[in-house]
Amino acid sequence: MGSTFTEGFSRLFKKSQEKDLISPKIGELNLRYVFVRTCVDFWMDIPVGVMFDTAYFDTHPGINTNPDTPVIVALHDTPGSLNDMIPILQPFCNLGYRVVAPNFPDSTHTRGMSKYDDTTFSGKTDERVTFIHDFLKTIGIERIDMLIGQGSGCNTVISYTANLLNKHAVRSIALISPIGHKPSKALKAYPAVLEFEQLWNQSTLFKFPLRLSLEISSFHKFPVLRTYRQRDRLKVMLHFAGFQYEWLNSDSFGIGSSSIPRLMTYNLNNKLVDEDLMEEYTELLGIPTTNICHCGTGEQVKHEKNDNSALKCVAFEDKDYTLNKYAGQLTLLLQDLLKNVIKKRW
């Protein structure tokens, strides 16, 4: 067994080195790999934690950068990958900022050293927070000027930041299409989601019938699953179960009570969220109603006289909203947020 593990490690290390050679230039969003051991002493029965060959972007890898260079870290949605963040990250690369975007463990881009690692790491929010902490420590990042989350990646942004508020390690946060602090109407049968996860983890005997029940559920109990590809529905269901809303609620309140600059944007036509839920979440995050604005199809985000760029929320009304389509507006909003923590003028 030791020989097999050594061979596997050597193969992955060689593979990681070979892939890393495509990223020699500073300031480019090329794919890199780094080994990250995470969740050490996280589980009582697995004190050694798990290890991942982690895919990530880093425009200034292994370089002693100017301490005044802004550092931006972006966390993608699930299902999804670090590639989804490129449209809003590329402008900051062009400005010479350090831009980092890791890929969460997903058995495709970021893989465990063994199947044991992939199955042990279930992807709950507290596990992801620990993974991000260990990833950033591995590549030597101690300060983040702007931490961006997309979709469920916002959960990790909130919890990671809330646990570091007193250390000033995160200087501003941006939440793009967050899921909210409690289940939406699309997940009104949320207890069934938790029950599904428990049954899935209990025994291999349940797995086949559970896969069948998942397809049936996508037509009546969880129609929101139909918005995802069939191959992603199991991953999404288990991901829903790991949102840990209780902690997200308290962590969001902690953010709302802090002075950290923050931006939130959401799409009114997102089937996973409700407008009243987003309004409640905006209030929980401490963003005043005077700083909430709506942006219709083809419109520019308006800056009112009472606007405070340190606390802002924008609701997009476009039915065809995509991160790529609104990259321009989102980039301007992110630039405006970043002005609150850096002296560089735009």
Mean pLDDT is lowest, of 133-147, 249-263, 304-318, for 304-318
Over the stretch 161-173, which tens digit does the pLDDT of each residue have?
999 876 779 999 9
Q: Which H helix or E strand runs over 87? A: helix 86-94
pLDDT at 209 over 60: yes
**pLDDT score recorded for residue 3:** 43
Over the stretch 24-43, which tens digit does the pLDDT of each residue have?
455 678 899 999 999 999 99
What six digits make up the tokens of 35? 């080994």
The pair phi, psi for residue 83, each rounded to 5°, is: -65, -25
**pLDDT score recorded for residue 202:** 83
CATH number listed for the domain at residues 20-179+248-338: 3.40.50.1820
Average of per-residue pLDDT values in the chain? 86
Over the stretch 47-56, which tens digit does the pLDDT of each residue have?
999 999 999 9
pLDDT at 74 over 70: yes
**pLDDT score recorded for residue 254:** 95
Non-local CB neighbours of 272 within 8 Å, separated by 6+ positions: 179, 184, 186, 187, 224
Over the stretch 85-127, which tens digit does the pLDDT of each residue have?
999 999 999 999 999 999 999 878 999 999 889 889 999 999 9
Give the separation between CA 193 and CA 88, rounded to whole angstroms: 32
The packing angle between helices 233-241 and 190-202, to 10°, is 110
Strand 71-75 versus strand 146-150 pairing type: parallel
**pLDDT score recorded for residue 204:** 74
User: DSSP H helical segments within 145-223, as ranges?
Assistant: 153-162, 190-202, 207-217
pLDDT at 239 over 80: yes
261 or 14: whose pLDDT is higher?
Answer: 261
**pLDDT score recorded for residue 77:** 94
Over the stretch 175-193, which tens digit does the pLDDT of each residue have?
999 999 999 888 888 999 9
8 or 136: whose pLDDT is higher?
Answer: 136
DSSP 215-271: HHHTTTT-GGGGGS-GGGHHHHHHHHHT--HHHHHHHHHHHHTS---EEEEEETT-T
**pLDDT score recorded for residue 26:** 52
Give the separation between CA 87 and CA 327, rounded to whole angstroms: 6
pLDDT at 260 over 50: yes
Q: Which H helix or E strand runs over 292? A: strand 292-295
Over the stretch 297-312, which tens digit does the pLDDT of each residue have?
666 676 554 556 799 9
The angle subtended at Cα 140 by Cα 137 and Cα 141, nearest 5°, is 85
Non-local CB neighbours of 173 within 8 Å, separated by 6+ positions: 146, 147, 148, 149, 157, 158, 161, 255, 260, 261, 262, 263
| Inter-residue contact 253 to 161 (CB < 8 Å) | no
pLDDT at 266 over 70: yes
Residue 191 CB-half CA count within 13 A? 0
pLDDT at 259 over 80: yes
**pLDDT score recorded for residue 243:** 94
Instruction: Indicate the domain borders of the chain.
Output: 20-179+248-338, 186-241
Over the stretch 9-29, which tens digit does the pLDDT of each residue have?
444 444 444 344 334 455 678
Give the separation between CA 98 and CA 177, rounded to whole angstroms: 23
Which percentage of the chain shows pLDDT scores above 90? 55
**pLDDT score recorded for residue 17:** 42
Give the separation between CA 116 and CA 62, rounded to whole angstroms: 30
Please provide the distance, in angstroms rounded to a whole number, between the alpha carbons at the two ends of the chain: 56
**pLDDT score recorded for residue 343:** 60
pLDDT at 6 over 50: no
